A and B are shown apart, each in its own frame.
Chain A
């Protein structure tokens, strides 16, 4: 790997993948402990109709309207799941299933019906993302990192994800104690005067924000994988929330970097000519990490409780 080629072709996609993975894994820790892990799955499905509607209204593929569309679709989905659950007295899993399949189907149908052949918007792109295309053509080597002119042409996804990641980190840092309390003992948190309802909703919104930003850059498959696999693997490593979050960040980073390298160079090592999907490979690596911790993780089984049969 020569520095020149690496900085131009691999550094930015790798960074973007890592940032997206961490941004999703952080809120994923809390969603996992709150038994809401599949919210990430639901959100990443409903983002598609949001983006399609935003495109149909504005007629352009631009970041801001698409982010707004995706975010409002996520809010619509959360409200709809709650409405179905309350009005129909349906269990949450089924309510979620009804909502995200219907919205995703609507998104696909809209996409097929509208003329999007001129722009880069299709279902496959939404699912797999296009991490490999986020290259930094103006870079000529490591020195470019100090070159203001070249830095101006960084892929826009990089600063955008950086901002979203800071928002996520800030949210978790500011609300660490209330989040921790309400996750482990909701009624105790309430007795301490923490408003657990709005806090839970805020967590879902932050997760949606991370999902939307990551989705734009890397596709929905990484989003779902990163919401669940690194936190789940981290959960099997430790009993402390702080340590779990740290492990999940490490696992997310490892998945992104190893996955990207394997996708880009693995086939070449095996003698094939072309790279495979980086998004798919990153998800696969995160699964391998989870499998490893499930076999040898120090806290893999329920402590003190008999194994469930």
Chain B
């Protein structure tokens, strides 16, 4: 069953939904990266919650006009309209009053959602409303989906992805450095508007699959995950798109195999699992990498201090230092330095003496900023400079009788 789901053999509708979720995931990952880099990730939360009154109102209108109100296209249009109004409210609140953006986001999110709930409870009392299934828009439901709806989702996902691809260059320029983008002739406010339009399109297409409460996860989690794998804007865009696509694909396929696996939460949890793995194991920024880096730093400090102690003939009591030196073959089991150890110790002491001299002289002030007790001085200064230091230190001289 799982294998069939993953290889798209669970029927035509499930295949279309899975493909739509994959395309949507890629588009959401890429668009979310722009939002994330602009530090506006949570605006998408307000946009997605603001779709609910539109869904309800569209249903009521369609029923009033004599339809059955369940046309996915009509509901999507309604949701887009009310999301747009929500967005306008956020920008009006932040621009015209002294409220911060987070307060505006929270206010729009909760108020629009509340109005939406009022509409939903009203719809439940309508005779046409009993089987409306509008609750499915809260958490997403792809079970028992109509063929036409599945087609809309697949086509919608592809369209959004195309739009994102078309605008990716100017949008990434703005996301990376808005001031520079503006000075190089890009219309930043209009591009911000396009970005929000894309977010809205993703929300609207994702309503039926992921549901409006969780759609924000598709826009936030993949970019945050991708940030662990790349330091470059294009890199983050690619990785976020791939992560988004994989979570859409795996999530939709997994949820198709059992009725008690709602699509939205499964997609979000797949996405979160990839985030957790990246947080722990990403090569440069992950927790494991940070721990390893810390341990290797600790080892270098211990070896260095141990060598200095050896060179000055001081006994070493620190257990970790002793163990590290012994493992490197620098001291014997009884704590006495080997010939290799003596050579390295002498080198370390000479290094340290040169550093002390360099730090006390004004002409080496710049080089002295590299001193951290570990860096070898040869990697910072030229041979001539080191000779100069040695001259200042002075060679060992005999004592006159």
Contacts and interface: CB of A to CB of B under 8 A. Distances in A.
A106 B92 CA distance: 35
Nearest to B189: A309
Given A35-B100, A301-B98, A307-B96, A102 B110 contact: no
A128 interface: yes
Chain B interface size band reads: 35 or more
A101 B221 CA distance: 9
Interface in B218-268: 220-221, 223-224, 227-228, 260-262, 264-266, 268
Contacts of A232: 99, 103, 107
B36 A94 contact: yes
A109 B107 CA distance: 28
A283 B135 CA distance: 19
Contact of B265 (A109, A282, A287): A109
Interface in A22-66: 32, 35-38, 40-41, 45
Contacts, number: 209
A276 B42 contact: no
Interface string B98-136: 111011011101111111111011100100000000010
Contact of B220 (A94, A109, A228, A280): A94
Contacts of B261: 109, 112
Contacts of A37: 100, 102-103, 105-106
A17 to B, nearest CB: 13
B97 interface: yes
Nearest to B118: A280
B114 A98 contact: no
Interface string A52-86: 00000000000000000000000000000000100
Interface in B253-295: 260-262, 264-266, 268-269, 272, 275, 279, 285, 287, 290
Contacts of B117: 127-128, 221, 277, 279-280, 283
B214 A105 contact: yes
B264 A87 contact: no
Contacts of B57: none
Interface in A265-309: 267, 272-277, 279-284, 286-287, 290, 294, 297, 299-303, 307-309
B41 interface: yes
B58 interface: no
B262 to A, nearest CB: 6
A185 interface: no
A17 B116 CA distance: 19
Given A93-B39, A98-B220, A277-B120, A106 B265 contact: yes
Nearest to A232: B103
A91 B214 CA distance: 20
B204 interface: no
A76 B120 CA distance: 32
Given A41-B45, A235-B98, A284-B118, A105 B107 contact: no
A263 interface: yes
Interface in B65-120: 92-100, 102-103, 105-107, 109-118, 120
Residue among B113, B227, B261, B285 with max Cβ neighbours from chain A (10 Å): B113
B118 A263 contact: yes
A123 B169 CA distance: 41
A235 B98 CA distance: 9
B41 A102 contact: no
A280 B115 CA distance: 6
B100 to A, nearest CB: 6
A221 B220 contact: no
Contacts of B30: none
B316 to A, nearest CB: 34
Given A84-B279, A94-B224, A89 B111 contact: no
Contacts of A228: 103, 106-107, 110
A294 B93 contact: yes
Interface in A207-223: 221-222
B138 interface: yes
A104 B48 CA distance: 15
Contacts of B42: 38, 93-94, 96-97
A40 B122 contact: no
Nearest to B259: A112
B216 interface: yes
B109 A41 contact: yes
B143 to A, nearest CB: 12
A227 interface: yes
Given A87-B287, A284-B114, A98 B272 contact: yes
B217 interface: yes
B217 A105 contact: yes
Contacts of A164: none
Contact of A109 (B41, B110, B269): B269
Contacts of B120: 277, 280
Given A112-B265, A263-B118, 15 more contacts: A36-B102, A37-B106, A41-B109, A88-B227, A89-B285, A93-B102, A98-B272, A102-B272, A108-B139, A127-B117, A221-B114, A227-B106, A232-B99, A279-B117, A280-B117
29 contacts: A38-B106, A87-B287, A91-B41, A95-B224, A97-B42, A97-B216, A98-B224, A102-B217, A102-B269, A102-B275, A105-B264, A109-B261, A113-B260, A221-B113, A224-B110, A225-B107, A229-B111, A232-B103, A236-B99, A272-B122, A277-B117, A282-B114, A283-B110, A283-B115, A287-B115, A294-B96, A299-B98, A300-B98, A307-B95
10 smallest beta-carbon distances between A and B, as pairs: A283-B114, A287-B111, A280-B117, A101-B217, A225-B110, A105-B265, A105-B268, A97-B220, A228-B106, A102-B272
Interface of B: 36, 39-42, 45, 92-100, 102-103, 105-107, 109-118, 120-122, 125, 135, 138-139, 213-214, 216-217, 220-221, 223-224, 227-228, 260-262, 264-266, 268-269, 272, 275, 279, 285, 287, 290
